[in-house]
């Protein structure tokens, strides 16, 4: 697929929740419609003409579901001596973040090769979007400094940075330990530093997504700053970090769809973390190398190829091809988002889902119950119910709250509660999350190596 939001050929997907056909035209729906086909459709309807591929897709879902084995929260898996060091450093970090001991528990596995941290919330409590509102969590925002246009690409100094109020490390750590999903640090990622980097990249993704105001192409071709880009690909001689950063420093020169916007935010948050915050040239080079692997295009195959498996012309041989930067997990509860997650809200209306760019909404969770607003149509952020209402109102021809406010049909509290479910339960929230996984630099890598 091209990095710009040029619509692909129209395809049909059968959505059992609506018992009707939805036409998909634009990659703005991309990360997770695979899930709906794999999870919600009867096996007899999933690519019945290719039963081997249908079976392989079920295996893929099983392989990328990690919360069905009795473990939830944050897990470290390595030798006992290494785990003892991790335990000591994690407890120190929790104290630094003012996470009260009563809020979490941790335990070793029977063979002392695993260490699991999780919240002391009830096992059935899987929501993270309301953690910020729970008094016992004592979650507050955190101030961070981001480079401004004058300081782009340079070391931080107060006159070249902007203060941004964003999600706290504390909230990210608490969300990671909540029931409903598992994040594992194993092998060369089994370290406190890998965990700290994971929290840091998530926070940085959110911080850069707080104040965006890109243009919306509304069905036309995407617009890029021609000084750095050619139709969504960095110009020869322009580094990935420089090209991607320009989209944040010169937002008025870009008009992009939500799929591309989401990828840019994820990529920039990661690159900027390793370049500016951690100041690790070796890790930055490896990440840039991965983003260019195979095609020299950082905005192509950023996420796992499996997210395109619903396409009629999808190559079954690519089902297991990993994303160059991001990974995915299935079976995530509807209201479980960790700040820095990429999720998808599906437009289940068959008529407006045919309109380019309105097949659904790619979203990044910002913490504090809020989701992105790439185009500043809603004061830079939406609460969960506001974002769900926005997607639902598309069926009423409300494509801009500023312009189409008269078309809004208010929903009852019960209606909104129903939308806070997965599509197979009548809601809009797909059960896949895409994210930058725990990262540790490999000793050696090749262009075919992709981080899982």
Give the pLDDT of residue 150: 64
pTM of the predicted model over 0.75: yes
**DSSP H or E stretch at residue 260:** helix 258-272
Give the pLDDT of residue 274: 98
Closest C-alpha among 24, 1, 27, 25 to residue 258: 27
Give the pLDDT of residue 19: 33
Q: Phi-psi region for residue 231, left (φ > 0), alpha (ψ -120 to 50) or beta?
A: left
Rg (CA), the chain: 21
CA 266 remoteness from chain centre: 7
DSSP-derived pairing of the beta strands 182-186 and 73-77: parallel
Distance CA 132, CA 127 (A): 11
Provide the 3-class DSSP secondary structure of residue 233: strand
**pLDDT 10s digit of each residue in the chain, 452 long?**
333 343 333 233 333 333 333 333 333 443 344 444 444 443 334 445 578 888 998 999 899 998 888 899 999 999 999 999 999 999 999 999 999 999 999 999 999 999 999 999 999 999 999 999 999 999 999 999 999 886 554 444 556 899 999 999 999 999 999 999 999 999 999 999 999 999 999 999 999 999 999 999 987 899 999 999 999 999 999 999 999 999 999 999 999 999 999 999 999 999 999 999 999 999 999 999 999 998 999 999 999 888 766 445 678 998 888 999 999 998 999 999 999 999 989 899 989 988 878 888 999 999 999 999 999 988 999 999 999 999 999 999 998 777 888 999 999 999 999 999 998 899 999 999 999 999 977 654 433 333 44
Burial zone of 364 (CB within 10 Å; 0-12 exposed, 13-18 middle, 19+ buried): buried
DSSP 342: E
**DSSP H or E stretch at residue 51:** helix 51-63
The pair phi, psi for residue 333, each rounded to 5°, is: -55, 150
DSSP 420: T
**DSSP H or E stretch at residue 363:** strand 360-367
Distance CA 309, CA 316 (A): 8
Distance CA 298, CA 296 (A): 7
Strand partners, 223: 255
Answer whether 305's CB lies under 8 Å from 321's CB: yes
First-residue to last-residue Cα distance in the chain: 21
Domain boundaries, the chain: 11-67+325-433, 73-207, 214-303
Q: How many CB atoms lie within 10 A of CB 9?
A: 9
């Amino acid at each position: 697929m091209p990095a710009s939001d040029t619509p692909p050929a129209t395809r049909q997907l059968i959505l059992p929740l609506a018992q009707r056909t939805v036409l998909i035209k634009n990659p703005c729906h991309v990360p997770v419609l695979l899930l709906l086909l794999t999870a919600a459709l009867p096996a007899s309807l999933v690519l019945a003409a290719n039963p081997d591929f249908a079976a392989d897709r079920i295996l893929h879902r099983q392989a990328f579901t990690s919360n069905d084995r009795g473990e939830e929260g944050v897990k470290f898996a390595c030798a006992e001596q290494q785990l003892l060091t991790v335990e000591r450093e994690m407890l120190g970090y929790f104290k630094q973040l003012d996470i009260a001991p009563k809020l979490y528990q941790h335990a070793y596995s029977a063979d002392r090769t695993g260490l699991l941290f999780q919240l002391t919330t009830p096992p059935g409590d899987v929501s993270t979007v309301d953690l910020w509102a729970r008094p016992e969590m004592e979650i507050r925002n955190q101030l961070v400094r981001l480079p401004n246009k004058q300081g782009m690409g340079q070391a931080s100094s107060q006159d070249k940075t902007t203060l941004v109020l964003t999600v706290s490390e504390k909230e990210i750590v608490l969300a990671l330990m909540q029931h409903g999903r598992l994040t594992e640090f194993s092998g060369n990622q089994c370290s406190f530093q890998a965990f700290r980097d994971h929290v840091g990249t998530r926070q940085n993704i959110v911080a850069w997504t707080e104040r965006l105001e890109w243009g919306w192409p509304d069905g036309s071709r995407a617009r890029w700053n021609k000084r750095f880009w050619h139709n969504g690909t960095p110009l020869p001689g322009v580094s990935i970090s420089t090209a991607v950063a320009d989209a944040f420093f010169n937002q008025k020169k870009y008009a992009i769809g939500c799929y591309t916007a989401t990828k840019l935010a994820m990529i920039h948050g990661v690159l900027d973390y390793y370049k500016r915050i951690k100041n690790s040239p070796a890790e930055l080079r490896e990440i840039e190398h991965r983003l260019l692997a195979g095609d020299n295009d950082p905005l192509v195959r950023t996420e796992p190829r499996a997210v395109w498996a619903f396409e009629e012309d999808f190559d079954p041989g690519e089902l297991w091809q990993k994303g160059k930067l991001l990974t995915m997990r299935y079976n995530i509860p509807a209201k479980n988002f960790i700040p820095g997650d990429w999720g998808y809200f599906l437009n289940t209306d068959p008529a407006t889902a045919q309109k380019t760019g309105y097949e659904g909404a790619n979203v990044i969770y910002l913490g504090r119950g809020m989701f992105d607003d790439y185009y500043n149509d809603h004061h830079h952020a939406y609460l969960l119910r506001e974002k769900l209402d926005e997607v639902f109102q598309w069926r009423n021809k409300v494509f801009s709250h500023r312009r189409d406010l008269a078309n809004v049909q208010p929903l009852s509290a019960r209606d909104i509660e129903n939308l806070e479910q997965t599509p197979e339960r009548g809601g809009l929230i797909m059960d896949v999350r895409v994210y930058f996984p725990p990262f540790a630099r490999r000793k050696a890598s090749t262009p075919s190596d992709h981080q899982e």
